Amino acid sequence: MRYRGSIFADLLKLIDRRQFDAIVEGHNGNAYDKTFDSWNHLVCLIGAQLSGARSLRELEAAWQANAHHHYHMAVGKLSRSTLSDANRRRPPAIFAELFSRVSVQAARTWRREGEQMIRLIDSTPIPLGQVIKWAQWNGRIRGLKLHVVYDPQADMPHRQSITPSLDSDISFGRQMPIEAGATYVFDKAYCHYGWWTKIDQAGACFVTRRKTNARFRTLRLRSMRRRHGDGFTVLKDAEVKFASKGDSKLDISLRLIRLRRHDSGKTLELLTNDRKRRAVEIAALYKARWQIELLFRWIKQHLNIRRFIGTSDNAIRLQILAAMIAFLLLRIAARLHRIAIPEIRFAQLVGQCLFVRKPISRIDKPPEVNPSKPPATTNPNQLQFSYA
Judge contact between 350 and 11, C-beta under 8 A.
yes
Q: What gap in Å lies between CA 196 and CA 186, rounded to an integer?
A: 11
**Residue 67: pLDDT band by 50, 70, 90 thresholds?**
confident
Judge contact between 32 and 89, C-beta under 8 A.
yes
What's the pLDDT at 4?
75
Bridge partners (DSSP) listed for residue 148: 122, 160
What's the pLDDT at 106?
80
What's the pLDDT at 319?
93
What's the pLDDT at 242?
86
Q: What's the mean per-residue pLDDT of the chain?
A: 87
What's the pLDDT at 199?
95
Burial grade of 258 (CB within 10 A; 0-12, 13-18, 19 or more): middle
**Residue 40: pLDDT band by 50, 70, 90 thresholds?**
very high
What's the pLDDT at 308?
86
Q: What gap in Å lies between CA 22 and CA 221, rounded to an integer?
A: 55
**Residue 207: pLDDT band by 50, 70, 90 thresholds?**
very high
**Residue 281: pLDDT band by 50, 70, 90 thresholds?**
very high
Q: What gap in Å lies between CA 23 and CA 244, rounded to an integer?
A: 46
**DSSP for 17-56?**
HHHHHHHHHHHTTTSS-SSS-HHHHHHHHHHHHHHT--SH
Listed range (27-31, 96-100, 135-139, 202-206) with the worst mean pLDDT = 135-139
pLDDT digits (tens, 9 = 90+) for 212-254: 888 888 899 998 888 888 889 999 999 998 887 655 678 888 9
Q: What are the C-alpha distances in Å from 322 to residues 43, 93, 266? A: 9, 12, 40
What's the pLDDT at 381?
64
What's the pLDDT at 1?
47
**Residue 147: pLDDT band by 50, 70, 90 thresholds?**
very high
